[in-house]
Structure formats: structure tokens, C-alpha cells
Amino acid sequence: MHAVAVLAFLFASGRYDSSGRGGPFRSCTADSVSCEGPHVPVMAGCALVVLGGLLLAGWAGRRAARP
């Protein structure tokens, strides 16, 4: 789950050529017609997923350590 969120964060933080030429993840260059990104709401959602997972793991660890 965390790895998927980190990968999604990395993809969402880039700027890509959205014209459809050169593949789905072509970076914006000087000859790009249309650029798109970064997707801030997706980046925030991914960061929340990672943070929530870390908090949940910490909570579970503290709960398991109780006698």
C-alpha cells in the first residue's frame, strides 16, 4: 500500500505532455503543445495515505506492547 502511494505521489508530482504524442509519461519539453501537472490533490491524498499507515502501525505497535 505504501509503495503504491509513493509511486502515485511521484507520478502526480511530475509535469507531463498531455497531447498524446510520445507515450503517456512523456516529460514536458520546449516543443510540447500541452503540459499537465503537478496534481496537488493527488499528491496530498498519497501523503495522507502514507502518514495514516505510519500512524496506524505505531498505534498497533503500542497496543501490542501493552501487558
Domain of residue 6 covers 2-65
Q: What is the mean pLDDT of the chain?
A: 86
Q: Structurally, how many domains does the chain consist of?
A: 1
Q: What is the pLDDT of residues 21-41, one digit of tens each?
A: 777 777 887 777 888 889 999
Confidence at residue 19, expressed as pLDDT on a 0 to 100 scale: 77
Confidence at residue 5, expressed as pLDDT on a 0 to 100 scale: 92
Confidence at residue 60, expressed as pLDDT on a 0 to 100 scale: 94
Supply the DSSP string of 31-60, one letter for each residue.
Answer: T-S-EE---HHHHHHHHHHHHHHHHHHHHH
Q: Does pLDDT of 53 surpass 90?
A: yes
Confidence at residue 18, expressed as pLDDT on a 0 to 100 scale: 78
